[in-house]
Amino acid sequence: MDTTNHFGPELPATAKSRIRRAAKRASYQREVVYQLVDELKLGHVGFIQNGEVVIIPLTVWRKRDFLYFHVANKSRLQKLVDAGETICISFAQYDEWVLAKSAFHHSANYRSAVLFCRGERVHDSREFDEAFKVIMNDIEPDRWEQVRPPNIQERKGTALMRLTIEEGSFKSRSGAPTDNKEDQSLTVWSGSVQNSVSFLYH
């Protein structure tokens, strides 16, 4: 991934995005947010339609400081972004389950990011190709150079959206359980267990 940074090392954060609970686990560094996005490439995109909250899981990837996703041309999400509305994208990965000696202190080791974005459709054919080249070659080196490029009909049917992150935050947890002193003598195992969830793509 291109790690060029044009907007400064930290994400802007307002009352909407600043983390209050367990604030010591928060970060606003673009570097850690970008790393999570690059590794996952799966974001949950939230928006409001007709007064109702809608959340859609989508492939989301990064090129420099911009995020990209694609949807069907004339889809509701394309129209909403083109109209200048803010969307919220969340990324999260659970690495380990944290088992404590008390039920209350069970937790998880994780990384997460919540980003508020605005964007627009990409109309330039060169940027269209470069954006898709980034994600395809990141999944498998030189994949874009080996496959047939999109034809005119496929390009017309695909709306590639480019997003600017207006503000956001990153939050994570790592380490051992936080057991109360009076619970440490309990004869129950505590520690972390690697998350073994697997994903099937079709």
What is the model's pLDDT at position 200?
39
Whether residue 155 lies inside any domain: the answer is yes
Asked if residue 159 is part of any domain, the answer here is: yes
Inside any domain, residue 199: no
Three-state secondary structure readout of 124-175: CHHHHHHHHHHHHHHHCCCHHHHCCCCCHHHHHHEEEEEEEEEEEEEEEECC
Does some domain include residue 10?
no
pLDDT score recorded for residue 7: 75
CATH of the domain at 139: 2.30.110.10
Task: Give the span between the Cα atoms of 64 and 5, in whole angstroms.
Answer: 6
- Report how many domains make up the chain: 1
Rounded to two decimals, the pTM is: 0.88
Q: Would residue 182 count as lying in a domain?
A: no
Range of the domain at 48: 23-173
Distance CA 76, CA 82 (A): 10
The verdict on residue 192 lying in a domain is no
Q: What does pLDDT average to in each consecutive run of 10 residues of the chain (202 residues)? A: 67 94 95 97 96 96 97 96 97 95 96 98 97 97 97 97 98 94 94 68 34
167 belongs to a structural domain? yes
Q: Is residue 12 part of a domain?
A: no
